[in-house]
Amino acid sequence: MDNYILAIETSCDETAAAIIKNGTEIISNVVSSQIDSHKRFGGVVPEIASRHHVEQVTIVLEEALNQANMEPKDLTAVAVTEGPGLVGALLIGINAAKAFAFVHGLPLIGTHHIAGHIYANNLVQPMEFPLLALVVSGGHTELVLMREHGIFEVIGETRDDAAGEAYDKVARVLNMPYPGGPHIDRLAHEATEAVPFPRVWLEDGSYDFSFSGLKSAVINYKHNMDQRGEEIIPEKVAKGFQDSVVEVLTAKTVRAAREFHVKQVIAAGGVSANKGLRAALENAFKAEGIPFYVPPLKLCTDNAAMIGAAAYEMYQSGIRGDLAMNGRPGMELKSWK
Ligand code: KG4
Ligand code: ZN
């Protein structure tokens, strides 16, 4: 019998619902973005995010069912992002999922947001193991090794800022609106020259990352130029910053792919929408002869389809949540097998 999972995602600033068939096929995928409400504050305001989720969650849920032309009785289970994320925002999705599951007598599955980002790839082509995932988003920068479905080993992570966070902060220095990543990406591509910023490699052999030093280098550069009464060229700064981020992310991903003899490399999370990063990874893995994939833009940034894709594998492993489920803002990525 076919499996249909209704998934809900509200961990940050997108209210999203989707229906996924057998873990790999998108039947409907609805995302309501709040970015415009947060823009004027230069970042996501948790209280505003929660209020938007309250207003939107039942609307996106109904829309997901309508677009799929399905009724609750056609569903196999309800999945929801349990963490990590903003606690108030998570709770809105969790309570909606609990109520829906309870009323319709459906099993409930609590999913990790990053597992979702990784599993977005399973909606595009089958995941092959061992698999290496570079997860780069507003809250995360991680290299995750998967030897099979449901088994995650975090082999490297950021020691300070996430890559997306660094993008957003540097964009602020350049007077670009939130979220800054796409603006820096665009400026970097318009540049012909780059300000030489440092590459942070950390200790020999480490797969960890650090972006706060790079961010400070950009801020210092701006201050020094201001003090000298010179204008900065935003394109040049953006390219200098992006070149540093992309070079370090790519080099460490390639080294890990070689060390663990992976069969597939995937990029996930909002920053994987970055054109410079995509091109660098594509070229590097073409040279390595290892298949490399990034999901289409819509599945890179926050969405519920990816939560449904991960939840399907959890469902197959017999994982079920219950009505005591709570939001877990600092939830770790743990294996479910
Ligand atoms: O995965 P995501 O939608 O939300 C989180 O779970 O964090 O990622 C959002 C992040 C933001 O920091 C945004 O600036 C960044 O992804 N981003 C980009 C690009 N598009 C989005 N960063 C660099 N280049 C882009 N093209
Ligand atoms: Zn995300």
Nearest CA to ligand 1 atom 8: 270
- The upper half-sphere exposure of residue 139, i.e. CA atoms within 13 Å in the direction of its Cβ, equals 18
Using a 6 Å cutoff on CB, does residue 23 contact ligand 1? no
Rounded to the nearest 5°, which phi and psi values hold at 17?
-140, 150
- CA triplet 49, 336, 97: central angle to 5 degrees? 35
Q: How far is the CA of 134 from the centre of ligand 2 (A)?
A: 13
Q: Report, as ranges of residue numbers, the positions in the chain whose pLDDT lies below 50.
A: none
User: Tens digits of per-residue pLDDT, 84-141?
Assistant: 999 999 999 999 999 999 999 999 999 999 999 999 999 999 999 999 999 999 989 9
pTM comes to 0.94
What gap in Å lies between CA 34 and CA 49, rounded to an integer?
Answer: 7
Using a 6 Å cutoff on CB, does residue 168 contact ligand 1? yes
Nearest CA to ligand 1 atom 10: 138
Using a 6 Å cutoff on CB, does residue 182 contact ligand 1? yes
**Contact (Cβ atoms closer than 8 angstroms) between residue 14 and residue 8:** no
Q: How far is the CA of 70 from the centre of ligand 1 (A)?
A: 32
Q: Is 240 helix (H, G, I), strand (E, B) or coil?
A: helix
Q: How far is the CA of 232 from the centre of ligand 1 (A)?
A: 24
**Contact (Cβ atoms closer than 8 angstroms) between residue 267 and residue 277:** yes
Ligand closest to Cα of 238 equals 1
Neighbours of 45 (CB within 10 A): 17
Ligand closest to Cα of 211 equals 1
274 is in an annotated binding site: yes
Q: How far is the CA of 226 from the centre of ligand 2 (A)?
A: 35
> Alpha carbon of 128 to those of 192, 204, 244, 279, 313: distances in Å?
39, 29, 30, 22, 14
What is the model's pLDDT at position 113? 96
- Which residue is it, tokens 């961010």? 215
What is the model's pLDDT at position 46? 87
136 is in an annotated binding site: yes
What gap in Å lies between CA 211 and CA 275, rounded to an integer?
Answer: 19
What is the model's pLDDT at position 141? 96
113 is in an annotated binding site: yes
What is the model's pLDDT at position 157? 97
Q: How far is the CA of 2 from the centre of ligand 2 (A)?
A: 28
What gap in Å lies between CA 79 and CA 94, rounded to an integer?
Answer: 9
Cβ neighbours of residue 152 under 8 Å, at least 6 residues apart?
115, 118, 144, 145, 146, 333, 334, 335
E strands along the chain, which residues? 4-9, 14-21, 25-33, 77-83, 108-112, 131-136, 141-146, 153-157, 264-268, 292-293
151: burial class by Cβ within 10 Å (0-12, 13-18, 19+)? middle
User: Tens digits of per-residue pLDDT, 32-48?
Assistant: 987 787 777 777 888 88
Rounded to the nearest 5°, which phi and psi values hold at 110?
-95, 125
Q: How far is the CA of 39 from the centre of ligand 2 (A)?
A: 18
Ligand closest to Cα of 34 equals 1
Ligand closest to Cα of 189 equals 1
Neighbours of 332 (CB within 10 A): 11
Using a 6 Å cutoff on CB, does residue 269 contact ligand 1? yes
**Contact (Cβ atoms closer than 8 angstroms) between residue 59 and residue 333:** no
Using a 6 Å cutoff on CB, does residue 179 contact ligand 1? yes
b/e 98-122 (16+ beta carbons within 10 angstroms → b) = bebbeeeebbbbbbbbbbbbbbbbb
Ligand 1 atom with minimal separation from the 165 CA? 12
Ligand 1 atom with minimal separation from the 14 CA? 3
| Amino acid symbol at 5 | I
